[in-house]
């Protein structure tokens, strides 16, 4: 599943530095606006201790973790919705992503130029939100023009409902709010899904702080948390400077020692990757055999046949049943055979909804 999170933010907030730490693909990090012009795409491994534990028990020939794609998108300025700066390119790139990681500068440093001359994460957030909202408003207005006549004069129920939803969305945008907080039911969003609205995408805010603030945050972080409280969005506190220093260390042991010296148990990058995975509404199931132990990405709510289809479409088409072992049972008992002997292997049909961490084996016939 090639799902993408786009990293966005004003120029010089640290997003390209953070992207460098996330990915083997190196985005240029420079102290001037628009150092990132083309979006850089990195395929990021999702850290998962469960996969490591399964590999220790099964001792396979190969271990394959989950991945997601992270896209570093060019910096944005006021007027982007009307094509200023790299606006059209920025908005087009973000439209292609599934979720947004919004990096906000929450540190003081006179040596790092801010595009607006001062540190103010709330202003920075509002600049980007406003541009995205204006672009969405333009998109919504155009669709309203297309469906209004059908909604008011015809007998098309879908057109009428779409028009009603678009009217609510337009009013919400005009009040300076993003669509993700609009007073709509989940089913309502299905009527406007094809519009690819930017502010409908789920968002996570990453507060880029100095080293002294990485554990407890600072005044800027407190302002951000208060400002986004109505969005029910996650706020992560990360120091891109610390993460870049960690990335320079060669061994796992060196990295752990470095983190321990700072009073940290894990890197901010690992936290961000897991949070991005959650933001995309994703689950993991596993296949475990001597040839390979592998993590598979599915959307929360997938049935067993849909999960099988992630491996190969033939698995879904010819699905017969799924043999399922719960992760905790597998780890406690130590092997698939032990789980069978203990009655911990379940046989599930087409309606089974896969749970996060399930270990699965599919029976199918093509």
Q: Is the residue at 52 inside a domain? A: no
The answer to whether residues 33 and 114 belong to one domain is: yes
> Residues within the annotated binding site?
12-17
The answer to whether residues 107 and 222 belong to one domain is: yes
| pLDDT at position 13 over 90 | no
Task: Calculate the average pLDDT of the chain.
Answer: 86
At residue 88, the pLDDT reads 56
At residue 60, the pLDDT reads 95
The answer to whether residues 113 and 235 belong to one domain is: yes
The answer to whether residues 159 and 31 belong to one domain is: no
Summarize the confidence of residues 110-129 as an average pLDDT.
83
The answer to whether residues 115 and 212 belong to one domain is: yes
Q: Which two tokens stand for residue 19?
A: 């992207």
Nearest to 359 by CA among 292, 280, 314: 292
> Residues within the annotated binding site for ATP?
12-17
At residue 285, the pLDDT reads 97
Summarize the confidence of residues 326-352 as an average pLDDT.
96
Q: Which of 1-10, 69-78, 193-202, 272-281 has the lowest mean pLDDT?
A: 69-78
| pLDDT at position 69 over 60 | yes
Summarize the confidence of residues 97-117 as an average pLDDT.
83
209 vs 15, 105, 205, 268, 311, CA distance in Å? 12, 7, 12, 11, 40
Q: How many residues does the chain have?
A: 366
At residue 41, the pLDDT reads 80
Out of 88-92, 159-163, 189-193, 234-238, the most confident range is: 234-238
The answer to whether residues 106 and 30 belong to one domain is: yes
Out of 78-87, 164-173, 257-266, the most confident range is: 164-173
The answer to whether residues 169 and 241 belong to one domain is: no
At residue 149, the pLDDT reads 83
Contact 288, 59 (CB under 8 A): no
Q: Is the residue at 327 inside a domain? A: yes
At residue 54, the pLDDT reads 96
Residue written as tokens 């390979």?
292
The answer to whether residues 105 and 213 belong to one domain is: yes
Q: Is the residue at 62 inside a domain? A: no
Domain membership of residue 233 as a residue range: 4-47+67-120+200-279
pTM over cut 0.75: yes
At 15-61, the pLDDT tens digits run: 888 888 877 544 334 444 434 445 578 888 888 889 999 999 999 99
At residue 44, the pLDDT reads 81
At 265-300, the pLDDT tens digits run: 888 888 888 888 888 889 999 999 999 999 999 999
Q: Which of 67-76, 197-206, 281-290 has the lowest mean pLDDT?
A: 67-76
């Amino acid at each position: 599943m090639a799902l993408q999170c786009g990293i966005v933010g004003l120029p010089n907030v640290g997003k390209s530095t953070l992207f460098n730490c996330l990915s083997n693909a190196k985005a240029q990090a420079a102290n001037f606006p628009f150092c990132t012009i083309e979006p850089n795409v990195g395929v990021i491994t999702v850290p998962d201790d469960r996969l490591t534990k399964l590999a220790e028990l099964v001792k396979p020939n190969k271990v394959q973790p989950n991945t997601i794609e992270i896209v570093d998108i060019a910096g944005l300025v006021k007027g982007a919705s009307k094509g200023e700066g790299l606006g059209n390119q920025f908005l087009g790139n973000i439209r292609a992503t599934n979720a947004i990681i919004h990096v906000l500068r929450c540190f003081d440093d006179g040596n790092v130029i801010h595009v607006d001359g001062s540190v103010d994460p709330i202003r920075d957030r509002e600049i980007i939100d406003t541009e995205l909202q204006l672009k969405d408003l333009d998109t919504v207005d155009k669709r309203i023009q297309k469906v209004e006549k059908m909604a008011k004069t015809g007998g098309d129920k879908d057109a009428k409902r779409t028009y009603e939803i678009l009217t609510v969305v337009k009013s919400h945008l005009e009040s300076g709010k993003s669509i993700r907080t609009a007073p709509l039911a989940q089913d309502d969003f299905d009527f406007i899904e094809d519009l690819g609205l930017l502010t409908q995408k789920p968002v996570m805010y990453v507060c880029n702080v100095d080293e002294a603030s990485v554990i407890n945050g600072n005044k800027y972080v407190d302002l951000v948390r208060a400002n986004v409280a109505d969005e029910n969005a996650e706020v992560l506190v990360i120091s891109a400077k610390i993460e870049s220093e960690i990335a320079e260390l060669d061994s796992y042991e060196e990295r752990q020692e470095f983190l321990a010296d700072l009073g940290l148990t894990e890197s901010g990058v690992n936290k961000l990757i897991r949070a991005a995975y959650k933001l995309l509404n994703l689950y993991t199931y596993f296949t475990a055999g001597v040839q390979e132990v592998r993590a598979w990405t599915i959307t929360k709510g997938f049935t067993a046949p849909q999960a099988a289809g992630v491996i190969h479409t033939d698995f879904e088409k010819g699905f017969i049943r799924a043999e399922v072992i719960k992760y905790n049972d597998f780890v406690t008992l130590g092997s698939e055979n032990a789980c069978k002997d203990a009655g911990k292997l379940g046989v599930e049909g087409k309606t089974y909804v896969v749970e996060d961490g399930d270990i699965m084996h599919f029976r199918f016939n093509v």
